[in-house]
Amino acid sequence: MTNSQQAIAHKVEVVGEVGATLHIEPNDTPRAGEEVLAWFALTQRGGQVIAEADSRCELVVYAQPRTSNAAPVLTPALTAVDAEGYRDIPGARFTFPKVGAYTLLLSCIPEQAGNFDPFELDFEVTVAAGPAVSAPPSSETAETEATSTNAAPTSAAASPVSKFVWVVGIVGLILLSAIAVSIWQSR
The CATH label, of 2.40.128.20, 2.60.40.3340, 2.60.40.420, 3.40.50.300, for the domain at 3-129+158-185 is: 2.60.40.3340
Determine if the pTM surpasses 0.85.
Answer: no
DSSP 43-99: EETTS-B--GGGEEEEEEEEESS--TTPPPSB-PPPEEEEETTEEEEEEEEEE--SS
Q: What is the pLDDT of residue 178?
A: 60
pLDDT tens digits for range 34-73: 999 999 999 999 999 999 999 999 999 999 999 989 999 9
Q: Where in the chain are the domains?
A: 3-129+158-185
CA of residue 56 relative to chain centroid, distance: 20
Q: What is the pLDDT of residue 10?
A: 75
